Structure 1
Amino acid sequence: MRHRLAKQPDPKKEEPFMIRTPYSIQISDVILAENGMGILPIVYNPTATSHGISNKTVQISNSLLVGSTPNFDCSDVLTSSDPNIAATAQHRSRRPLTGGRSGISWPTFATGHNLAPVYPLAGLKNYNAISGLMTVTDTTFVNFRNVCSGEANVIFMTNPENEDLQHPIQVSRITLVGSAEDRKIFIHQPDVTKVTPSACVDMDCDAKKKSLLKDLDGSFLGQIGAVVPQSEYQWDGDTRDGLGDYRIPKVMLTRLNGSRIPVAEIAPNKGIIRDSSCVYMSSWRAYKCFGLNYEMLVIESLDSDTETRRLSPVAVLAKEDGYVDLLNGPSNHDLCSGYSCRKRVSLFHPIVATNKSYEVFFTSTSPQKLRLKLLNADNTKAVRVGIYYSNPQRLDVYVNNIYINPTNVNWKGSDYTLLAPTYQGQYMPQLSSTINGDNYFDKDYSTLYILVRGSTPVEIRTSPLIVIAFNIPAMTVDQFYGENLVKNLALFLNIPASKIRITKIIAEGSRRRKRAAGGLTVSVEISDPPVQQQDNTTTTNTTTTTNTTTSNSTGELSFSDFQQISQNLASAAISGSLSNYLNVTVGSLSVSDPVPSPSDPGWSQVASEVVNRTDPSTSSTGSYLATVSKLTVVQEPIAGLPGERLSQQPCVMAQDSNGNCVSVSTSSLSLTAMLQYSNGTIVNNGLEGNSTILFDSCWANYTDLVLKLPGSGYKLEFVLNQVSAQTRAFAAKSLPPPTTTATNTTTSSTNQSPPQPNVGDSAVATYSPFQALLVLAVTLMTINLLMSDQ
């Protein structure tokens, strides 16, 4: 539905338009003269949090806008002394900085109503919408220039009340009469007072730095081109704006070996990508550019924590051109204050030049589900976007719910493998490709490269998986029956064989040798296969469906399923029984950690980890697992006084036959400590604290064991499956010697017999030799005193 507003040309009727509606707007055949702001449109819905994309527009056509007529009286003004003016200050149109009038405001496409008139009419009380476009055609602008001793009439001006996003404007067939070049555009600078925890947090929001205007035929700018804002405003300048090199995500400035990349080397230029045709217009606070075609790219998190987990600052790097731009996203709009109210949707709208390549880096862990699209662009426009993933699983790309094959896919019937490139860039999606969503994952740089063509959204879905690398004895690849391993592994794990794929077989030592002395490393991926879905509104060409998988009818693997699979594999490997189950000798294996979904409580811990770039050749492929052959007590226990915690707690390491650290923590197995006498007899009720604990990798670190009994000659025994280890003998500390007088000692001795040391009797106290001599001396003194009294 559209609102269509029209006026017959009538010089006596020149009211401006302030429109707020959930529908598209058409304004045509109107005359607007000498207005504070001629047209200010606000269109709301659908909500950004529902991820709804609409085709709503504001269309202005066949109209006449006049800044000032020749008879305009500069002294005829209303001042704030008028109570009507004072009372309506927040609802009146904002003027250019030096005063004057404006023709058309940049549009506001919002998630919801702005709650006016309780709040300002032009304000924003909800997130910006995902999509929106204003077009101005066949319209004449008259006398937009300097007037009235310093005042200025401006044709297009941003809405100063909107800090989140102001959607693009496209103009064509424009006529300018008596209007100055420096008064065509005015873009406000960000409101630094909004850089607070209750609004934009610690960095300018994006609206004033992402205001794009395109001239489609050259009638407005003099030739086909665009106006792009000064996105780098206050870069390393006023610290209140929170913008500078120090806000660039660290992973963008890190090489594979961990060394630092100087900013000047990778991104000497700041802001929106520009070429030599761009000229900075100081009066516009923007650039006038004619050499590049600019579009607005949408980057949207589809995760359930899109409002509660901050991804910004987001860096958009045009590496070949040396430009980096930073985005913060929308502000907080909760009607409350404090840290708990900081909800900000993870939605970003960088301005990009088409036919260029970009890399995107989030400050925190990349979303598991991400959506990309070019706003208001046809299929002739494309960009290549690389998204860095610090903890990649399998990344599946969909367009209209249709799975898009990676460029390096190699199909074998209904299964596939991903080919490794033989030279750099071999499988990189080409900008000339006509396939929206063409994609390739570069394992070396943990970056998924995607071709985004036109306005049809491209969706990246993280498919959880675990990767298992088995080390098996030497044999030729031809001798290895991969299908048997898959079949046996599926039976052992009780999952369909379709969820298991052998992704790589490497002969250790030399790939060219017929038989590798070190054996084979077989990499196996366990995951749900990509799901081919048919969109109801899309007709699929049958010739393109032969290389896609069918819908998974056996049920998807959940995070708990992956945890159970890892635990079962680990338990069997640690006990040494895995080889029997798989019918192939397994020397060792590694298992990657499963990643929880965004709705799982464990995701917040994963997502909060520091994002680092690591060299895949030196990083671990997962938790190392093998048969635990021995337990080593690395830290011996030292006891304190009876009833107190051990002053040094024991630490035990699980190892294989070669002394390697075995990651028992991948399983659900625990380690139990038992108190014994030196002769091996178990001491009942002699130990307190957590005697059974889980491992941390291969380490079992006790923290609160308490020896309840006095005495010496104690040992701790640790048992894991059939493997055990013992500590050296240790003793409780002795009690301090008595400080009582002889008289008190006599009384005590007559009321209670001194305990006799008896090692092995947990019910009787044990004395050291020194204590025994002391007791004997006190006893003799008591006897002498008694005899002397007689």
Structure 2
Amino acid sequence: MDCDGKKKSLLVDLDGTLLGSVGAVVPQSEYEWNGDPRHGVGDYRIPKVMLTALNGSRIPVSQIAPNKGVIRDSSCTYMSSWQAYKCFSMNYRMLVIESLDSDSETRRLSPVAVLGSGYIDLLNGPQDHGWCSGYTCQKRVSLFHSIVATNKSYDVFFTSTSPQKLRLMLLNAKPTESVVVAVFYSNPQRLDVYVNKQLVAPTNAQWNAQRTDYTLLEPTYTGQYVPKLSSLIGSNFFDPDYKMLYVLVQGSTPVEIRTSPVLFIAFNLPAMTEAEFFGDTLVANLAAFLRVPTNMIRISKIIREGSARRRRAAGLTVQVAIQQPPTIQTTTNSTSDVEQFQVLKNITDNLGQAAVTGSLSQSIGFNVSSMGVVPPSPPPSDPSWSTVADQTVTREDPVVQTVRSVSSLTVVVEPVAGYNPGPLFTQPSIMAVDQQGECVSVGVTTLTITAVLKDTRGNEVDGLYGNTTIPFSSCWANYTDLAISTTGENMTLAFTLNNWMTQSRSFTVKSVPSTVSATADSSSTTATTSIPGSTTDGNSVFDSSPALKIGTVYTLMLLSVLHLLYCVL
């Protein structure tokens, strides 16, 4: 795909001396759309999530974006010699979209789609500025320039996961010129908007008495809280259904969007009605158990399970959000996001371990049958961020990991032994399950499982190496590099997670097969070891000389001595 340099050049005629009247020249950004594949521009480069409806169906490109390139109107005329358009009724400005994440130079965000008034424009960003010509060292700043018309609304979709820190700005814009930009976030946490380092609360925010935190009001009709073009700069609203953050960009003042990590918990409380449930008690008990302030815990939704006739028996699902209150004024301390994530990660571990061991109900004072967890997103500086960032961008909600008391461990994939020494032919996979045999997501905790090798009497023996202690992923513990350096029959692998144990079926480990052949005469014996797949019979076409037996060698030596004596005499 072409770099954006020449395709995002904007010329504004302020007094009409160039175009004959006040206007602008905008490039033919859609050049070779669905044409020459070397330019890499076409419908196939549009981020798939932009063409996906809420029900998962595909939206035709002709329906959502019938026009391509920079937004235009009937006043625009194409100039073939310029390979550009001259327009007279639209007020064009450059919209800057910049990632402020630490991986801005290495993680690919483009193509970035900008959609407005039926026109779609694809942004690729600047040229690679890496120091070598190889692909592995390519570096490209995630800085995109889009040509937009003011007093319009635009949707922005990244091809990969949206940056956690994003800056939007109109270049050389007057204070009265504005646009509404809606950015898609596939896995939204809490999105805080800042202007001049000051927090701009969402338009549906309801502050507490101390104005230290707020709750979000539900809209009563579509578009109620979406910022207007006449709103204050930074006005914002997040639509949880479409996962779009609407924010007003005005003048040349930058607007920053920062993602704050949030831990989402859902407690399933059986045999409890809404009238019997006291939210303040749950919040206080959780805060005491986790040793955090109560203002970090908020009940976001209470869902009654079952029909009205059976509500008393069905119980409740209480959804809780755990997060730090928003920062009113930003600082240059880049470790705050890391610290917030670490706090929430520890909270997840504490709650998860309590649920796995069956002590959660006693710890929080409510009878909890199961707990759903959506872990917080790690910051870009965390090693686990690459796994999150590389996930396919969709409109689907994050996967809820269910945690409940573990009943047993099950070896789903049995190990198959190889030769000694060497890795297992088939690596084992162990699943943590409850009493009903359903998956228990131990992976939300820091709990690990350990494998040991046992002999036929059940005694632990040496000889197992590789990563014998590994964490869980969801409810699975998948080994990848176990190997055995000993031999034996009816051996087993035993797996331990805290007080839960299980073991594999028995197997036999044999040494590398060998064959021994002896050729003897009166004084010597020769032994030859054969490796499977090799040739040792002396008849290989790759041999430098034929194989000779010991007797033949002695005969040749005797003949050589007789020949030497004959020559001397």
Give me the TM-score of the superposition, normalised by structure 2: 0.81
Matched, 1:614 2:411: no
Distance 1:741 1:577, change over 3 A: same
Aligned to 2:5: 206
User: Of the candidates 206, 209, 233, which is equivalent to residue 31 of structure 2?
Assistant: 233
Query: How many Å separate the matches in 2 of 1:345 and 1:740?
Result: 67
Q: Which residue of 2 aligns with 1:286?
A: 84
Displacement after TM superposition at 1:285 (Å): 3.3
| Closer/same/farther in 2, CA of residues 277 and 689 from structure 1, 3 Å limit | closer
Contact kept? 1:707, 1:732, Cα under 8 Å: no
Greater relative contact order structure (CA < 8 Å, 6+ sep): 2
1:176 is matched with none
Tell me, in whole angstroms, the C-alpha distance in 1 between the residues paired with 2:134 and 2:287: 51
Instruction: Give the aligned partner of residue 366 of structure 2.
Output: 584
1:357 is matched with which residue: 153, 162, 175?
Answer: 153
1:518 aligns with 2:303: no
Choose from 442, 454, 458 the match for 2:255: 458
Shift in CA distance, 738/489, structure 1 to aligned 2, threshold 3 Å: same
2:189 to 371, 386, 393: 393
Q: Distance in 2 between matches of 1:460 and 1:742?
A: 82
CA deviations 1:649-701 (Å, max 9, x no partner) are 4322101122221111221112233445666x424336454443322221122
Report matched runs for 1:177-192 at 5 Å: none
Corresponding residue for residue 173 of structure 2:
377
Alpha-carbon distance change, 518 to 430 in structure 1, aligned in 2, over 3 angstroms: farther
> Which whole-Å CA distance do the structure 2 matches of 1:458 and 1:464 have between them?
20
1:566-610 per-position Cα deviation (integer Å, ceiling 9, x unaligned): 222221211111222111122111222332323334434433x14
Contact 1:256 1:613 in 2 (8 A): no
> 2:344 is matched with which residue?
562
Choose from 444, 464, 473 the match for 1:666: 444
Q: Which runs of structure 2 are paired with 1:339-354 in the superposition (5 Å)? A: 339=135, 342-354=138-150
> What is the alpha-carbon distance in structure 2 between the residues aligned to residue 555 and residue 307 of structure 1?
20
Counterparts of 1:283-322 in structure 2, within 5 Å, are 283-318=81-116, 321-322=117-118
1:326 is displaced (CA, Å) by 1.5
1:469 and 2:303 are equivalent in the alignment:
no
Q: Does structure 1 retain, via aligned residues, the 8 Å contact 2:8–2:147? A: no
The change in CA–CA distance for 1:687 and 1:598 in structure 2 (over 3 A counts) is closer
Following superposition, the deviation at residue 531 of structure 1 comes to 1.1
Which amino acid in 1 is paired with 2:222?
A: Q
**Which of 726, 729, 735 is the equivalent residue of 2:503?**
726
Match in the other structure for 2:239: 442
CA drift of 1:387 comes to 0.6
Q: 1:347-394: CA deviations, max 9, x gaps? A: 222111222211111222211111112222233322111111223221
Q: Is the 8 A contact 1:470 1:590 kept in 2?
A: yes
C-alpha change, 1:649 and 1:316, in structure 2 (3 Å) is closer
Letter in 1 for 2:146: P
3-state SS of the aligned residue for 2:361? Answer: helix
- Out of 652, 667, 672, the position equivalent to 2:430 is 652
Residue 418 (structure 1) aligned with residue 197 (structure 2): no
- Going from structure 1 to structure 2, the CA distance change for 1:559 and 1:738 (only over 3 Å counts) comes to same
Where 1:697 maps in the other structure, the secondary structure is coil
SS at match of 2:267: strand
Could you say if the C-alpha distance between residues 631 and 289 of structure 1 is closer, same or farther in structure 2, counting changes exceeding 3 Å?
Answer: same
Runs of 4+ in 1 over 6 A off after TM superposition: 734-744
C-alpha distance in 1, partners of 2:52/2:468? Answer: 44
Instruction: Give the alignment's TM-score, normalised by structure 1.
Output: 0.60
* Residue number among 479, 486, 490 corresponding to 1:702 in the alignment: 479
SS at match of 1:489: helix
Q: Is the 8 Å Cα contact of residues 307 and 346 (structure 1) preserved in structure 2?
A: yes
CA change 1:682–1:556 in 2 (3 A) is: closer
1:487 corresponds to which residue? 284
Residue 335 of structure 1: how far off its partner (Å):
6.5
Equivalent-residue separation in structure 1 for 2:515 and 2:29 (angstroms) = 80
1:266 and 2:64 equivalent?
yes
The 2-side partners of 1:534 and 1:644 are apart by 55
Q: Deviations over 1:272-315 (max 9, x none)?
A: 11112222233443323233332222212222333333322221
Match of 1:76 in 2: none
Return the offset for 1:460. 0.5
Map 1:600-611 → 2, pairs under 5 A = 600-607=382-389, 609-611=390-392
Superposed CA RMSD in Å reads 3.3
Q: Quick one: distance in 1 between partners of 2:298 and 2:338?
A: 16
C-alpha deviations, 1:162-201, integer Å up to 9, x for none?
xxxxxxxxxxxxxxxxxxxxxxxxxxxxxxxxxxxxxxxx
Once residues 475 and 89 of structure 2 are traced to their aligned partners in structure 1, the CA distance between those partners, rounded to angstroms, is 60
Give distance in 2, aligned partners of 1:673 and 1:333: 47
Q: Does 1:325 find its partner at 2:325?
A: no
Q: Which has the larger radius of gyration?
A: 1
Q: Secondary structure at the match of 1:360?
A: strand
> In the aligned structure 2, how far is the partner of 1:453 from the partner of 1:402?
15
Matched, 1:717 2:494: yes
Aligned partner of 1:665: which letter?
G
Deviations along 1:730-763, whole A, 9 cap, x unmatched?
Answer: 444699798778999xx99xxxxxxxxxxxxxxx
Query: Contact (CA 8 Å) 1:251, 1:611: kept in 2 or not?
Result: no
Q: Give how far 1:434 is off.
A: 2.1
Would you say how many aligned residue pairs link Structure 1 and Structure 2? 516
- 2-side partners of 1:641 and 1:371: how far apart? 57
Question: Could you tell me how far apart the structure 1 residues matched to 2:273 and 2:504 are?
Answer: 45
What is the CA–CA distance in structure 2 between the aligned matches of 1:555 and 1:289, rounded to whole Å? 45
Q: Is the 8 A contact 1:388 1:447 kept in 2?
A: yes
Q: Residue 752 of structure 1 aligns with which residue?
A: none
Compared with structure 1, are the counterparts of its residues 250 and 531 closer, same or farther at alpha carbon in structure 2 (3 Å cutoff)?
same
Deviations 1:320-344 (A, max 9, x none): x321011222334567644466333
- Residue matched to 2:537: none
Shift in alpha-carbon separation, 1:556–1:263, aligned structure 2, 3 A: closer
Gaps of 5+ in 2: 526-569
C-alpha separation in 1, matches of 2:520 and 2:258 = 85
Are the structure 2 counterparts of residues 727 and 272 from structure 1 closer, same or farther at C-alpha, using a change threshold of 3 Å? same
